[in-house]
A = this chain, B = another copy of it.
């Protein structure tokens, strides 16, 4: 369905700036240096300074953009320290950002073809500020790439990125139970909470309803009775239509990621406090050695 005509370069922006004038200044630099490029707001509503939130959003969103697209990603609590800036090539999409884990969930899905550290100041603004490298370094670099520049010119090659802030899913058995251990990573605008478990992390589901075999168990929820630990078993459903209003459910969301929700409610408030753990459990029904192979 795609067009085959000449297309302008695309520069997409993912930041924790909100809709502030900091975005405007960055766009002003792009309009000056790469006037032909099409600039797209992917989102500016990353939770301020949350590398984990940013990493999930990039992992779930960048693949929807075309090959050849250029991305500026700014969630950068270490700006002004000696953290590195990099550009990495994920299956033809170039992502520019700090090497603080922000790009590392992407890398887990699609090992970068090349990574270059941005250490050639001749491609930056003349005197970069100490606190706004998005405008002063990343935007000029993105413009250079949009104008046809070469990734390799921008600095020295790197072999690896900073480790991902998203823990890996773990698997274990207990007597005849299969158990998958995950963590809650972030909430979306609707109060759904997204986890590190994705559909490809689950044993092959031989039929659509097979997801019902699993229960999700989460402990330590906020509870009005101090001293009590609240443990909750949550059903896993196929669509929100299968859930009752106000009842906790889990399902595989539109990015293939397990999310926990309270339809017409807000799961976010109950899950405050960082990387909360949960597990999924079902009776082992088939040979374990094949069950967890993918």
- Selecting from A107-115, A177-185, A237-245, A276-284, the interface stretch reads A237-245
Beta-carbon contacts of A33-73 to B below 8 Å, as 1s and 0s? 11110111111110010000000010011111110010000
Are B1's CB and A144's CB within 8 A? yes
- Selecting from A15-23, A158-166, A211-219, A223-231, the interface stretch reads A15-23
Which residues 57-108 in A have Cβ within 8 Å of B in the complex?
57, 60-66, 69, 80-81
Are B19's CB and A44's CB within 8 A? yes
Nearest CB on B from A78, distance (A): 9
Are B3's CB and A27's CB within 8 A? no
Instruction: Count residues of A near B (Cβ-Cβ below 8 Å).
Output: 68
- Selecting from A129-137, A168-176, A286-294, the interface stretch reads A129-137
Given contacts A21-B60, A27-B40, contact A35 B66 (CB under 8 A): yes
Q: Please, which residues of chain B bring their CB within 8 A of the CB of A60?
A: 21, 25
Nearest CB on B from A15, distance (A): 11
Are B43's CB and A23's CB within 8 A? yes
Q: Please, which residues of chain B bring their CB within 8 A of the CB of A14?
A: 21, 24
Give A253's nearest chain B residue, CB to CB: B131
Are A42's CB and B61's CB within 8 A? no
> How many subunits of this chain does the assembly comprise?
3
Given contacts A48-B190, A80-B240, contact A147 B69 (CB under 8 A): no
Cβ-based interface call for A28 (8 A): yes
Cβ-based interface call for A188 (8 A): yes
Are A32's CB and B147's CB within 8 A? no
Q: Please, which residues of chain B bring their CB within 8 A of the CB of A135?
A: 64, 254
Given contacts A21-B57, A21-B60, A147-B3, contact A81 B38 (CB under 8 A): no
Give A133's nearest chain B residue, CB to CB: B254
Considering the chains assembled together, what is the distance between the CA atoms of A18 and B39 in angstroms?
19
Q: Please, which residues of chain B bring their CB within 8 A of the CB of A23?
A: 41, 43
Q: Which residues of A contact B (CB under 8 A)?
A: 1-3, 5, 7-8, 10, 12, 14, 17-25, 27-29, 31-36, 38-45, 48, 57, 60-66, 69, 80-81, 123, 129-132, 135-136, 140, 143-144, 147, 188-190, 238-241, 253-255
Interface contacts beyond A28-B63, A130-B239: sample of 16 additional A-B pairs, CB < 8 Å, sorted by A: A2-B34, A2-B143, A3-B35, A5-B36, A8-B35, A12-B27, A20-B43, A20-B189, A22-B254, A25-B255, A28-B65, A32-B64, A32-B66, A80-B239, A80-B240, A129-B253
